[in-house]
Structure 1
Amino acid sequence: MSTTPPVLAAELAVAWADIQRHHPELPDLAAPESLIGESSSACGTELSFERLLHEAVHGVAAARGVRDTSRAGRYHNRRFLAIADELGLDHAEEPHPSSGFSLVGLRPDTKKRYRATMDRLHRALKAHSVATTADTARSFRGPAARHGSSGGGVRVKAVCDCGRNVRVVPSVLAQAPIMCGACGQAFRIPEVVGAGVG
């Protein structure tokens, strides 16, 4: 098994810490592994520093108690946009009809501020991609992966003991625990009681 995912998770944590250095109210990244291999049509289709900064906008919004999305997290509203601007992201003038202001990009001053961190993360992402391609070249990944789903499946609800929940691709949760920032317990996919009983 490749040792790249732990290395990539560590690099994601380092990059997140650099963002926190500039934006101290940003909470810690509880599970960097949850970003690996997962894509979101609302939050960018591939993992990159730009995507990490996008996720940081959501983190700052959560720390402030700001509801920055609607429509199950797909539509990014003007409150998201205001925080994105604070974190150095540029945006379109008008919202996308289904995802709002989710499509953001790095401003030139932001690129300059994070250049070394971006380069380091890019190298880790490239190494991860090479290792993942080599690891999966001769393995069967299922129909979802063959048809372009990077997560290899549909997101399901995972819960923790304090009552919080997240939507996650089961294969991502199987890679490593995702810890709740409120209670410190691992999120789990609940067993369905009475499934198939009519």
Structure 2
Amino acid sequence: MSTTPPVLAAELAAAWADIQRNHPELPDLAAPESLIGESSSACGAELSFERLLHEAVHGIAAARGVRDTSRAGRYHNRRFLAIAEELGLDHPEEPHPSSGFSLVTLASETKTRYRPTSQRLQRALKAHTVATDTDTRNFRGPAARHGSSGGGVRVKAVCDCGRNVRVVPSVLEQAPIMCGACGQAFRIPDAPSAHGALAAVAG
């Protein structure tokens, strides 16, 4: 099992602490490694400072006892939106049919406020992506290729709206991962389904 990159974990913790300085009620980020290398289908975004601020909205909602999503966490309602505005996030005029107001973006003032923090985090994320991409090109044996309990090589799965996540093919075999932006399922490029991707690997 790979360990959490210490630089990236430290930058995530530092960025979260920077948000806490502006919003003291935000709970601590107990496990920054839980965000590394993962993309939230509900949030529909890869890890970035913008995504971190999105997660902070959920953190404050939880601290206040506010139910900010519905439909198994996919639909971001107007209570989410109100807190997002407090944290300096812009939003579309109308909610998305399946994800509501999940597609929040950094307002210009928020970009300025957090620019040094955002830039440090982005550098750490880029370094982690390079290391991860290099690792997935190495041969790791059949157990890894098939995504067994011994681990699995993540591949890029894409959504027709342009978003992408990295996932072990066997995860898609178990159940679809839905995009929070458009409600469509992520798929492995040039593969009609996760099952087809696994069959190609097995063959």
Aligned ranges for residues 173-188 of structure 1 at < 5 Å? Answer: none
Alignment partner, residue 53 of structure 1: 53
What is the TM-score of this pair, normalised by structure 1? 0.72
Alignment partner, residue 42 of structure 1: 42
Equivalent pairs counted in the alignment come to: 156
1:55 partner amino acid: E
Q: Shift of residue 4 of structure 1?
A: 6.5
CA contact (8 A) 1:4 1:127 kept: no
Q: Deviations along 1:6-37, whole A, 9 cap, x unmatched?
A: 22111100000000000000000000000011
Alignment partner, residue 166 of structure 2: 150
Aligned ranges for residues 1-198 of structure 1 at < 5 Å? Answer: 5-139=5-139, 141-142=145-146, 145-146=154-155, 148=157, 149-152=165-168, 153=171
2:43 partner amino acid: C
How many Å separate the matches in 1 of 2:133 and 2:46? 15
CA contact (8 A) 1:39 1:151 kept: no
Identity across aligned pairs (percent)? 76
1:95 partner amino acid: P
CA contact (8 A) 2:4 2:33 kept: no
1:9 partner amino acid: A
SS in 2 for 1:18: helix
CA contact (8 A) 2:76 2:102 kept: yes
Q: Deviations along 1:74-124, whole A, 9 cap, x unmatched?
A: 100000000000000000011100010000100000000000000100110
How many Å separate the matches in 1 of 2:48 and 2:129? 12
How many Å separate the matches in 1 of 2:98 and 2:156? 23
Q: Shift of residue 41 of structure 1?
A: 2.3
Q: Which runs of 5+ in 1 are unaligned?
A: 157-198
SS in 1 for 2:5: helix
SS in 1 for 2:166: coil
Seen in structure 2, the aligned counterparts of structure 1 residues 72 and 3 have a Cα distance that, compared at 3 Å, is closer
Structure 1 runs of 4+ off > 4 angstroms?
1-4, 140-144
CA contact (8 A) 2:61 2:68 kept: yes
How many Å separate the matches in 2 of 1:27 and 1:146? 33
Seen in structure 2, the aligned counterparts of structure 1 residues 141 and 26 have a Cα distance that, compared at 3 Å, is farther
Seen in structure 2, the aligned counterparts of structure 1 residues 124 and 147 have a Cα distance that, compared at 3 Å, is closer
Seen in structure 2, the aligned counterparts of structure 1 residues 104 and 14 have a Cα distance that, compared at 3 Å, is same
What is the TM-score of this pair, normalised by structure 2? 0.71
CA contact (8 A) 1:2 1:135 kept: no
How many Å separate the matches in 1 of 2:4 and 2:130? 10
Q: CA RMSD in A?
A: 2.3
How many Å separate the matches in 1 of 2:106 and 2:82? 14
1:64 partner amino acid: R
Q: Which runs of 5+ in 2 are unaligned?
A: 148-152, 158-164, 176-203
